[in-house]
Structure 1
């Protein structure tokens, strides 16, 4: 191998450059606090760090989503907490309205109280969240959910049935709010409730009272009962009976049930484990209806706002000295009490659901925080610099550079002619 002066110089220069590069790399590590300056330092760790970083970013995004969901559910719970005493107060006032000692003037004053309650509940049902979106309008955040129709005087639900789902974890999405239909236009899911009403065409003073259900499973299959006061011409003399039309899963079934008009109150067995109370003087063809609330889910007749409107109208109608009108008023009030009980139970159910979702989100958030700590620990293990080792390396690289510089200086002062001269 031929050794020249140029080779001496190039070898020394390469050695210095190599040591300088290593020293600069160590400086960069110490300056950034990172073990890997480029992916070439540790390809496997670099790939793992990218994957872990993505997981950490997603976890932070889910944490933000959970914060938004908790805020929205907290706002909804505040509204429900304000609505519950209003509905309960309406139930209490409704009992007062059925007091037979009240005059038309007293009932008119009481109607004004119900109007205030209705308007207050309507205002709560149309509440907005912190972003200015209506809480109970489903996906139509900019649309007021409950709007009063000036022509009919009834409230209509203008939202939709879409849930505002929030991704709170990789595999879990939760509703961040409830739509107005689920709040006010349905009975409690799984419950069996029959809502009573009397026909406005009745000429008698009959009042339909409470419903008793002894077989909920069978009764749940019945969508409606229609009761009509008729005379059974097959007997001699003709006898008063109640014709019962049962709208069941196999169609309409007709039965005649005995009725004793001499009794102050009679219990009518409708079949399928359902009985109802009838009182007052019935006239031929007087009709009463029992509707299964589950069969009317989404119907505006279940809306507590329209129920209170019916109560207001009934209380404002003069009934003193008119037993037929008074019976119609009591039928409206009795039906309203059943609906208010149903609405009250359903609002409590929705509030319980809100609380359950908040608890689940908090549990997921705790798990997310632990996951965040674990990811941060793994990233730190792969990326962070060991300052003790790096400081030692710094001293080593500095010494190596100094040694390379001295060697180069020695080489720089040496050439073949000087060697020959010394020889």
Structure 2
């Protein structure tokens, strides 16, 4: 083989270039603190690192979602607790208003106090979270959940959906609750209508035992066949002091009564004053739902109306009591649900933290830099580079003619 000056030069330059490449590669590993700078360094390890990095980014997104969800749910929890306190205060004032010794001025004063609490309740029902989203407006969170119409009645203006956050690969969680379900669709007090259709007796009727009446209505009310909701009470004549009650199937109850004295049937109280021989037609009122604010407002209006009898005022107060009771039951259910969701987020947060640690350890095991080994390799590659550079310098100054 013929050895030329060019061959010696090229081999020396190639050796120096390789030494420089090894040196720079080690430097790059140290600078980036990883054994795998390029996929070619370890194709299998690089693929695993990419998967772990993608998983870590996803876990971070879940963590951010859980933080936002937690904030929103905590705002809702505080709002529900405050509203429960407000409704309790309204209840106390309405109980006081049932004292028959009060004057109209007293009723007006209590009505004003209740109205102040009502306004506070309305504000809380339009609570916003830290991002300015209306908590109880469903997914229509950019606008107030409840508005007050020109007629003074409150109306829900959101939707029935819930905003959701993904906190796991296959786990989503609701970050709010619709105010329609909690406040707007609250069952009002069940009642009935009674009229005298025959006879001269004067009739007075009311629900005297709400629980008994509610149970009777629940068992017998028909939304499909309204005829089944009608009943008839007949006082016998001659033989004053006896009555019978019938429905579409026939007589369902009989009993004795004293004219002018109340008697009851499944929570319904009737008072007939006058001669026997009268017929009373009575029927279930259709169960309805209404916003608790409207029911309380009706009670306020009744307190301010001096033309109402004590019985009429009491009916309005009882309507508000029932609406508040049912609303607080809805709020209790919502609060329990919020608590359960917060517990779920706590559990997922703990899981996410553990998985994040695992991912970091796995990435370190696959691509983590052994500092001692890298430092040693850097010194060796640096020495090799210096040696190749020195050799190149010497060979560059030589010529085969120098040996002749």
Aligned to 1:276: 267
The alpha-carbon deviation at position 161 of structure 1 amounts to: 0.2
Equivalent-residue separation in structure 1 for 2:85 and 2:189 (angstroms):
22
Aligned to 1:327: 311
Q: Does residue 1:230 correspond to 2:233, yes or no?
A: yes
Unaligned regions of 5+ residues in structure 2, if any?
Answer: 197-201
Question: Does the 8 Å CA contact 1:197/1:288 hold for their aligned counterparts?
Answer: no
Distance 1:264 1:15, change over 3 A: farther
Distance 1:214 1:96, change over 3 A: closer
Equivalent-residue separation in structure 2 for 1:370 and 1:37 (angstroms):
27
Q: Does residue 1:356 correspond to 2:340, yes or no?
A: yes
Partner SS for 1:178: coil
Q: TM-score, normalised by structure 1?
A: 0.80
Q: Over residues 88-132 of structure 1, what are the superposed CA-to-partner deviations in whole Å (9 max), with x where a residue is unaligned?
A: 122222322333434444333332232222222112112222222
The alpha-carbon deviation at position 326 of structure 1 amounts to: 3.5
The alpha-carbon deviation at position 8 of structure 1 amounts to: 1.7
Q: Does residue 1:36 correspond to 2:32, yes or no?
A: no
Equivalent-residue separation in structure 2 for 1:114 and 1:65 (angstroms):
40
Aligned to 1:171: 170
Distance 1:243 1:310, change over 3 A: farther
Aligned to 2:301: 313
Kindly tell me the number of residue pairs found equivalent between the two proteins.
389
- Larger mean Cα displacement after TM superposition, 303-312 or 404-413: 404-413
Quote the RMSD (CA, aligned, Å).
3.3
Q: Does residue 1:209 correspond to 2:200, yes or no?
A: no
User: Which residue, out of 163, 186, 189, partners 1:195?
Assistant: 189
Equivalent-residue separation in structure 1 for 2:181 and 2:88 (angstroms):
19
Distance 1:221 1:18, change over 3 A: farther
Question: Does the 8 Å CA contact 1:198/1:331 hold for their aligned counterparts?
Answer: no
Distance 1:21 1:361, change over 3 A: same
Aligned to 2:329: 345
Question: Does the 8 Å CA contact 1:195/1:290 hold for their aligned counterparts?
Answer: no
The alpha-carbon deviation at position 33 of structure 1 amounts to: 1.7
Distance 1:231 1:214, change over 3 A: closer
Distance 1:170 1:80, change over 3 A: same
Q: Does residue 1:381 correspond to 2:380, yes or no?
A: no
Q: How does 1:40-55 map to 2 (within 5 A)?
A: 40-55=40-55
The alpha-carbon deviation at position 236 of structure 1 amounts to: 6.0
Equivalent-residue separation in structure 1 for 2:142 and 2:250 (angstroms):
49
